[in-house]
Structure 1
Amino acid sequence: MTSWAVRSLVLLVLLASYWFVYQHGRSVESAECAAASAKQDSGSRLAEVIGERGARQEEQRRAQAQEEARAHAQEERTIADAGAADADPAGQRMRSDAANLAATVSCPGTDTAAIARGKAATRAAMVLSDLLTRADERAGELAKAYDRARIAGDQCEREYDVLTGRRQGIN
């Protein structure tokens, strides 16, 4: 072999060895990138699972707080209804007493002017008794409506405060 052929062969072997070293470096770098990417993906998935778990716990906490607010409102409605039921007989007694008073307002006697005044007083007492009865009934209706609206508003406020994080529990 000539020196030119030997040199060419040495050069070819040298170039081939550089090529194989380069390819080996690329495969090592590719493997390292794949490992780093897998590690990052694993960390991302772990963070996602932890985030989902936290979101589920927060959702459960909020749902429980809303249920507590509903239960509290139901208790308040029961108490208000019981109070209204207790007020109805008292109002009925008052209306009955007013009607009895109006019926007894009369002026017996022989004087026709006194009898006329007694009849006028009786009619006025009956009108006032009727007005008292209607006013008492309307006041009862308004009190019931107010209680229901107040309880619903309080429940809504509690649920909103829990959802926005202003309040952690139900008072």
Structure 2
Amino acid sequence: MNAILLKALPYIAAALLALGALYGAYHHGVSTTNETWQSQWNARDTRDAQAKAENEAAARTREQAYQQSINKAVQDGQRTIDQATADATAARASADGLRGAADALAARLAASQASGNSCTAAASAAATRAVMVLADVLKRADQRAGDLATVADQARARGLTCEQAYDALGK
């Protein structure tokens, strides 16, 4: 048996050597393929990271442009509101003059009633009361109209500001 084993030993060694060479070639092929795939994955990851950075920069730029548009709309709206407030103040001053004129007319009528004839005093008193009520109604109506105009102007300005800000986002 030893003789057969000694005769087969070179064949077994050659077979083991051939198997070792085949395994080495296989292992080298797998390693080369893995390295190729890994380099491709690394390149893809690098491209993905660059694309992500570019997309984030573009999104940031768009966001800043939107914010600038909104800020401009807010500033324009505030100017409109300030102008409406100034106009309301001027209108209120003008209305105060009108109210003063109505008060002066009512006072003049009351004074003329006091110095008048006793026969016409009763008729004059009724007319004076009517004029005073009318003057009071006029004052209150004018004051309320001014208040409503102020609120309406500011609401309109705020609505236009909101609309401009919304339109800026659509660009």
TM-score for both structures, normalised by structure 2: 0.86
Cross-structure match for 2:105: 101
Cross-structure match for 2:42: 38
Moved over 6 A (4+): none
Cross-structure match for 2:133: 127
Structure 1 unaligned blocks of 5 or more: none
Deviations 1:63-121 (A, max 9, x none): 11111011001110121122112212221221122223333345665461x22111110
Matches within 5 A, 1:148-159: 148-159=154-165
Q: CA deviation at 1:4?
A: 2.9
Amino acid at match of 2:8: W
CA contact (8 A) 2:77 2:158 kept: yes
Q: Which has the larger radius of gyration?
A: 2
1:66 corresponds to 2:78: no
CA contact (8 A) 1:103 1:122 kept: no
Cross-structure match for 1:139: 145
Structure 2 unaligned blocks of 5 or more: none
1:57 corresponds to 2:77: no
1:116 is aligned, of 118, 122, 130, to: 122
The 10-residue stretch of structure 1 (45-54 or 97-106) with the greater mean CA deviation from structure 2: 97-106
Amino acid at match of 1:82: A
Cross-structure match for 2:28: 24
Question: Which has more helix, going by share of residues?
Answer: 2
Structure with more contact order per residue of length (Cα contacts < 8 Å, sep ≥ 6):
2
TM-score for both structures, normalised by structure 1: 0.86
Q: CA deviation at 1:36?
A: 0.9
The 10-residue stretch of structure 1 (138-147 or 150-159) with the greater mean CA deviation from structure 2: 150-159
1:75 corresponds to 2:79: yes
The 10-residue stretch of structure 1 (88-97 or 35-44) with the greater mean CA deviation from structure 2: 88-97
CA RMSD after TM alignment:
2.0
Q: Structure 2 CA distance, aligned partners of 1:36 and 1:140?
A: 74
